[in-house]
Amino acid sequence: MTTATKTRATSSRTGRKQSGAKASTTSKTTTTSSIGMTMRRTNVTPKKAQEWLDASAGVKQRTIRSARVDKLVHSIESGQWRVSHQGIAIAPDGYIIDGQHRLSAVVRSGMAVEMMVAFNADPETFDVIDTGAARSPGDMLKIEGFTNVNILAAAVRAVLTYEDVVGTTDSWQTASKLITPVDIIEWLRDEQHAEVIHSATAVANRVAQALGRYGLKSVLETVALLVSTRETEMGPAAFAEFMERLSDGVMLPSNSPILALRRWFIQETGYAKVNSTHRFSTALAVTIKAMNDYSLGVERQLSIWRHGSERMPLLLPPGVREEQLIQAERELEERDAAEAAEDAASS
């Protein structure tokens, strides 16, 4: 993951409360079980976390998953961290039985947090820790009372991921993994966002069914949520017309970007041929490009977006014209060239 992605993943949601990330240093109540294990709510500093990690070097541990640590770092830095029954387990000899991902996140974030720590834990419990199923974002949305939870969760995750990678070639998959269930629920709790959910779901279902591509539901719902929650060059009326013609293909000239997109979705040489790992981000990018072309009156006979080499396209804000878009692209290219020259000079 690039530094830019990590920065955006943290800064794009800086409005959230920070109180959970900075823990108090006061001691907490201690409870001792009948087998001698002691549970203590503990202020874990980066220094202490590193000491426990160092003490566990050479001891059997699960492989540290960088994506898991990244997500925990995001939770700490964005103030989402909360003390729960899940914490750290330390063996009588001082090494970690459970919690190396949490401790690694504390070290990486450079911030102290409070968590439950089990001292003198039984080492034989290692093989049965974390064998249960994790609660998915869909599970949490269902608890919150939402419907169509899996597609909705995927769409909101995509909206938040888009905000982090738009205008860059950063990895969609890496940025997406940083989005937590709390991020998704907080986005949906915004009154403006909640008001457009049902209409976004309805249009996504209708168009996906018309195209015979049911896997497109979350992509199309993402686009509908993006258009509905921000000011864009394509207003609500134009978006409705765009989706209607994408659905039925009626009266579209041969050079219409809507027709090009429709063909890309339907034909086996387009959407279906994209590697499944990149299919969502590619479909989203191709759709946004077609919407921009439609807004600017640009003709298009072929829909294409090259993963890894093209930037995730910006959904044009109001007032943007083709000349301004070209100028913006030129400025981005000049910035990239300047950064490359700077990197070459420093190496």
Would you say 36 and 95 are in contact if contact means Cβ atoms under 8 Å apart? Answer: no
Would you say 143 and 188 are in contact if contact means Cβ atoms under 8 Å apart? Answer: no
* CB contact burial 220-230 (16+ within 10 A = b; e otherwise): bbbbbbbbbbe
From the list 149, 171, 147, 146, the residue with the least C-alpha distance to 161 is 171
What the block records as the tokens of 212 is: 């015979």
Residue 24 pLDDT greater than 80, yes or no: no
From the list 61, 123, 126, the residue with the least C-alpha distance to 93 is 123
Question: What are the pLDDT digits (tens) for 248-261?
Answer: 999 999 999 999 99
What crossing angle do the helices spanning 236-248 and 217-228 adopt, rounded to 10°? 160
Element holding 304 (H helix, E strand): none
pLDDT class of 7 with cuts at 50, 70, 90: very low
Q: How far apart are CA 96 and CA 119, in angstroms?
A: 10
Residue 18 pLDDT greater than 70, yes or no: no
More confident: 13 or 271: 271
Give pLDDT, residue 21. Answer: 39
Q: How far apart are CA 56 and CA 128, in angstroms?
A: 19
What the block records as the tokens of 93 is: 């000899």
Residue 70, CA atoms < 13 Å, CB-side half-sphere: 19
Bin 67: left if φ > 0, else alpha if -120 < ψ < 50, else beta: alpha
64-78, 204-218, 233-247, 306-320: the lowest-pLDDT one: 64-78
Going along the chain from its start, the domains and CATH numbers come out as 17-123 (3.90.1530), 137-333 (no CATH)
Would you say 312 and 172 are in contact if contact means Cβ atoms under 8 Å apart? Answer: yes
User: Rg for the chain (alpha carbons), in Å?
Assistant: 24
Mean pLDDT within 303-329: 81
Would you call 45 exposed, middle or buried from its count of C-beta atoms within 10 A (0-12, 13-18, 19+)? middle
Mean pLDDT within 10-35: 41
Q: Is 264 helix (H, G, I), strand (E, B) or coil?
A: helix
Question: What are the pLDDT digits (tens) for 212-234?
Answer: 999 899 999 999 999 999 888 88
Share of the chain above pLDDT 70, in %: 83
Would you say 322 and 298 are in contact if contact means Cβ atoms under 8 Å apart? Answer: yes
Residue 265 pLDDT greater than 70, yes or no: yes
Q: How far apart are CA 224 and CA 156, in angstroms?
A: 11
Q: Residue 44 forms beta bridges with which residues? A: 113
Question: What are the pLDDT digits (tens) for 111-164?
Answer: 999 999 989 888 776 655 554 455 577 777 776 777 778 889 999 999 999 999
Mean pLDDT within 190-196: 84
Would you say 95 and 11 are in contact if contact means Cβ atoms under 8 Å apart? Answer: no
Q: How far apart are CA 287 and CA 281, in angstroms?
A: 10
26-35, 41-50, 201-210: the lowest-pLDDT one: 26-35
Q: How many residues does the chain have?
A: 347
Q: How far apart are CA 219 and CA 284, in angstroms?
A: 6
20-24, 227-231, 304-308: the lowest-pLDDT one: 20-24
Residue 318 pLDDT greater than 70, yes or no: yes
What the block records as the tokens of 117 is: 């720590």
pLDDT class of 325 with cuts at 50, 70, 90: low
Backbone torsions φ then ψ of 42, nearest 5 degrees = -125, 140
What the block records as the tokens of 138 is: 């869909």
pLDDT class of 266 with cuts at 50, 70, 90: very high
Give pLDDT, residue 35. Answer: 55
Number of other CB atoms surrounding residue 196 within 10 Å: 14
Say if strands 96-98 and 38-44 run parallel, antiparallel, or are unpaired.
unpaired
60-64, 155-159, 307-311, 319-323: the lowest-pLDDT one: 319-323
Residue 271 pLDDT greater than 80, yes or no: yes
What the block records as the tokens of 72 is: 């925990």
Give pLDDT, residue 221. Answer: 96
Q: Is 63 helix (H, G, I), strand (E, B) or coil?
A: coil
pTM for the full model?
0.61
pLDDT class of 86 with cuts at 50, 70, 90: confident
What the block records as the tokens of 320 is: 């943007």
Residue 298 pLDDT greater than 80, yes or no: yes
Would you say 261 and 286 are in contact if contact means Cβ atoms under 8 Å apart? Answer: yes
Give pLDDT, residue 16. Answer: 38
Residue 8 pLDDT greater than 60, yes or no: no
53-57, 231-235, 341-345: the lowest-pLDDT one: 341-345
132-136, 193-197, 309-313: the lowest-pLDDT one: 132-136
pLDDT class of 247 with cuts at 50, 70, 90: very high
